[in-house]
Chains A and B, each alone.
Chain A
Amino acid sequence: MQFYISTLLIYLFIDIMGVLGLNLQFGVAGIINFAYIVFIAVGAYTAAVVSLGPDYPGNFQHYVFGASWPFPLPILAGGAAAAVLSLVVGVISLRRLRSDYQAMVMLVLSLIATLVASNATGLVNGPAGLATIPQPLYDQLGLSPLDYQWAYAGWAAFLTVVVFLFVQGITRSPLGRTLRAMRDNERAASALGKGVTALRLMVFVVGGFIAGVSGAVFVEFIQAWSPGSWLYPETFVFLAAILVGGAGNNWGAMVGTLLVPVGFLEATRYLPAIFYQGFIEAMQWVCVGLLILLFLWFRPNGLFPEQPGRFRRRPLITGGSTRVPAVPVAPPAPVD
């Protein structure tokens, strides 16, 4: 039982990290990244490859690079690799396109990534994927398997808090406001002097980094990763979490993660296999689809809609050090 709960918690924290990254890209900045799962995968593969040690002839799995970097370097490497890939993908494919074309570009990229990873057997061991990825500090800590899991859950929780504070720091700041403005009307934001292309790219890279970190932390726990782990519909599980929880609201995103990938999908996993093996899983996807449709129809802003900024009224301070920018505006006229 304890194994189950600790595993569930680890999944929860990792999924929250992933959802927060996508919420930053999509919910706050309006970037349509239907290939998000690929960046999680890159983080996972990178962390795996730098922890598995160098490849050698006769190895049961083949992959590029190969190193035995100590904790926590594989996680940083995973984040960095995903960030770099985000930069490349962002520069090439974030364009002034109709939003549904943009969506399709990203979706096709996701499919291409799966094709490449499955077929290029020397890259990350093709369809079989990578396995026996060492769990970080397992030997050094010398804990029992169960205690290790609790420790890992604590580690994942810590990282999740860091990520949350980071994305919340952006969302509640003037930067977050500018991103939301860019999302709501890019043309007007440009006309006001906002460099939307650079902003969008920056958010894409930052979100990509977060995705990579979450993938790395995940793979270091489950110790295996193959193309089957990151097919294109997985992005839509995250998307469903955001739609349900509330796009643009980081608290909402966490609730959405609790409800959809963790609550709903994990809960139904333990139903007895009726009809045949895999029936439940198929119905889970039907429900994900229905959930997306229902929320888009009835509550497109999610359970916890985005909170715009509200400002306290302060007494006007005449003089003092606050700089008042010059605006061609007459002083406040008396109210008629």
Chain B
Amino acid sequence: MASEPEQVLSVRDVSRGFGGVMAVNGATFNALRGHITGLIGPNGAGKSTLMGIVGGAIKPDSGTVVFEGRDVTGLPAHRIGRLGMIRTFQLSAEFTKLTVLENLLVAAPHQKGESLLGAELGRRYWGPSEDALVEVARSVLDRFSMTAKENELAANLSGGQKRLLEIMRALMANPKMVLLDEPFAGVNPTLAREIEHYLLDLRDEGLSMIMVEHELSVVERLCDPVIVMAQGKVIAEGSMSDVGARREVLDAYLVG
């Protein structure tokens, strides 16, 4: 018997306005554990704002966000990150002057050498755990076939490689859930398909994800459930075949 998928994230009645315009206007949805939840909708529907609110970068005017049973409404981004929800970004957000490996190492939480005292105690103090971390990072690089780029400055990567870097970096942070904001934008189709496979594998290993995406074919392949937004509200929630047939959804895409 398949067990009832549990909610890892629950968003209730969240609203946020900017200068008189309600970017998000009473949005409600659930993301399921071990699933890739898709977030779709026409331009200006409020998807990015909603992701910003869930990730903690934007404070909602009202409503609640509950992550793993814990109310995280209004918590700053870094607190939410530490609780295990990692947000990736649409435009390149790589640490430009750090190498690929360093980008990954930064993401790991609870590093001994990260406090002032720890840093000053020197390599003898933080060396061993750092070495272990390097091995973990290298295995991640290996998995995504990026080993050759280990010492490359992140700024020099191609667009697609930067996307992979975002995902690898998120993984290093021990995430329980990853927010993916248009992970395929600007990526060539071959690499995009590869990334799709990586995401499916991660999902199968138990990682929950929310993915904002425009290309409906991708959403169909990867996402279940799918949340449809329009004009700041969630207008449909369900599997792709369910929502794809709904009148409101078709209307929303036509009207925009």
Interface residues of A (CB under 8 A from B): 166, 169-170, 173-178, 180-181, 183-185, 187-196, 202, 206, 248, 306, 308-311, 314, 316, 322-333, 335
Contact = CB atoms under 8 A, between A and B. Distances in A.
B96 A309 contact: no
Nearest to A188: B93
A178 B113 CA distance: 10
A73 to B, nearest CB: 23
A308 B99 contact: yes
Contacts of A332: 139, 142-143
A173 B113 contact: yes
A284 to B, nearest CB: 31
A328 B132 contact: no
B99 A187 contact: no
Contacts, number: 166
B97 A193 contact: no
A310 B134 CA distance: 10
A306 B102 CA distance: 14
B205 interface: yes
Interface SS of chain A: helix, strand, loop or mixed?
Answer: loop
A253 to B, nearest CB: 16
Closest 9 CB pairs of A and B: A193-B81, A174-B113, A173-B119, A188-B93, A175-B119, A193-B82, A322-B132, A184-B95, A190-B77
B81 A174 contact: no
Nearest to B170: A192
Nearest to A308: B99
A248 B97 contact: yes
8 contacts: A175-B113, A178-B114, A185-B94, A191-B93, A314-B135, A324-B136, A328-B205, A329-B140
B120 A169 contact: yes
A177 B118 contact: no
B208 to A, nearest CB: 10
B81 A192 contact: yes
Given A177-B102, A190-B77, A328 B207 contact: yes
B57 A187 contact: yes
B205 to A, nearest CB: 5
A94 B139 CA distance: 38
A176 B119 contact: yes
Contacts of A178: 106, 111, 114
B17 interface: no
A327 B57 contact: no
A174 B105 CA distance: 8
Contacts of B77: 187, 190-191
B169 to A, nearest CB: 7
Nearest to A305: B97
B70 interface: no
Given A187-B93, A328-B202, 10 more contacts: A166-B120, A170-B116, A173-B114, A174-B111, A185-B93, A192-B107, A193-B81, A195-B78, A324-B136, A330-B205
Nearest to B106: A181
B113 A326 contact: no
B87 interface: yes
Contact of B99 (A248, A310, A314, A323): A310
Interface in B118-132: 118-120, 122-123, 126, 128-132
A193 B173 contact: yes
B76 interface: yes
Contact of A180 (B97, B111, B175): B97
A326 B106 contact: no
A188 B97 CA distance: 14
